Structure 1
C-alpha cells in the first residue's frame, strides 16, 4: 500500500494525508498473482483495475491463427486492466497474465467512481493517467505505421529501458510488431554502434 500512497502523491498537486489514505485504501483489495496466473482472461468482464505493487504482467490477444500479440507490458507502479471492458462492462478480447509473481491492489468500477467523488487527488491522478495513456497510444500508432524496426526498438529502449531487463526478446518483438529474428538483427546492429 505504501507504493500506491507515494504514487498518488507523486502525481497529485494536492497531497493526500496519511489519514485520508486510510480511508482511500479501504477501497482496494490486496491480491497475490502467481507467475502465469491470469488477472483477466478473454471473454471475462474486467471487474477490477490492478495497481502493480510488485512484479510484471503482459496483456495480449490471440488471433484466429492462434498467434499471440502483445498489446501492453506492465511492471511496478503501473496499472493493468482492460479499460474498455472495465468502463463498458463488455467481455474482454484480451488476456492479462503475470509474467512474474505479482502483488497487486485491485479496485472495482464502483469504488473508482466513489473515490473520484471523495478524493480530489485520485481524480487528478486518473485525469493525468488518461492524458499520458492517450499520448502513449498516439506515439505507438505513429511508430507502428511509420517507423522502421530499428527506430521502433530504439524508441522502446529509450522510453522503457526497464522492460528490456524484465521481458524476453519474443515478448518485446511481439509488442513492437516485429519478428523475433528481426529484433535479434536490430539488437546486434544497435550493439555495433
Structure 2
C-alpha cells in the first residue's frame, strides 16, 4: 500500500527509491475499525493521516448536539484537525471511521523534520496545502452561494464514490440539508 503514497508524492515531485524509503520510514501504519476515532475533540492531535483504504469523516458537534460534517476522506486523501495539528493544541473536532480504514500516520515532528531535510517534501506539502485551501474556499462559497440542489449536484459530480460509501444522513449533514431534502434531491437528479 505504500505505493499509493509514492504515487501521490510523485504526482508533484519525482523521488528516487532511497528518497521514498527514507520518507516512508517517518510514517507508521495503523488500522482502525468502523466508528473508531482517529481524532477526538479536546484531545491532542499527533498525526496527519494519509488514507490507504476506507472512509473517514471529520465533524463538529454544536452546543445543541447537531453534527456538522466538515470533510470526508477516502483512499489517497489526507485528513486531520489541521488547526490542532499545526498549532500542537487539542482537537476542536472529531474524526472517525465510516468503515474499516487503514492509514499512514505522520507526526508533526516527522513532517517538520522531513520538510527541513528535503526540499521535495516541503514542496509537496506546500502544493497539497494550496490545493486544500482552494477546496475549502470553494466549499465555503458553495455553502453561502449555492442552493441545496446545486450543492448536491456539485458533490455528486466531484465525488460520486462518496454516495456509495457514505450513509445518506451524513451526506445530508455535509450539504447542510435534512435527510428528507436529500431524498428529494436524489429523486429529482435521476
Category of TM-score, reference length = shorter chain:
over 0.9
Per-residue displacement from partner, 1:60-102 (whole Å, max 9, x unpaired)? 1111111111111000000110100001122211110111111
Query: Is 2:164 aligned against 1:190?
Result: no
**1:108-187 → structure 2 map (5 Å cutoff):** 108-187=107-186
CA distance in 2, matches of 1:137, 1:80: 13
Provide the aligned length of Structure 1 versus Structure 2: 189
Contact 1:60 1:94 in 2 (8 A): yes
Deviation at 1:119, TM superposition (A): 2.2
CA distance in 2, matches of 1:108, 1:23: 15
Q: What TM-score do you get using the length of structure 1 for normalisation?
A: 0.95
CA distance in 2, matches of 1:5, 1:189: 41
**1:87-126 → structure 2 map (5 Å cutoff):** 87-126=86-125
Per-residue displacement from partner, 1:23-79 (whole Å, max 9, x unpaired)? 111111111111111001110121110100111100011111111111110000001
Contact 1:9 1:121 in 2 (8 A): no
Specify the alignment match of 1:20 in structure 2. 19
CA distance in 1, matches of 2:72, 2:54: 11
CA distance in 1, matches of 2:9, 2:167: 30
Specify the alignment match of 2:3 in structure 1. 2
Give unpaired runs (5+ residues) of structure 1.
none
Contact 1:42 1:92 in 2 (8 A): yes
CA distance in 2, matches of 1:19, 1:93: 37
Deviation at 1:11, TM superposition (A): 2.1
Q: CA RMSD in A?
A: 1.0
| Secondary structure at the counterpart of residue 15 of structure 2 | coil
CA distance in 2, matches of 1:140, 1:93: 19
Per-residue displacement from partner, 1:87-123 (whole Å, max 9, x unpaired)? 1122211110111111111011110011112223321
| Secondary structure at the counterpart of residue 66 of structure 1 | coil
Contact 1:8 1:121 in 2 (8 A): no
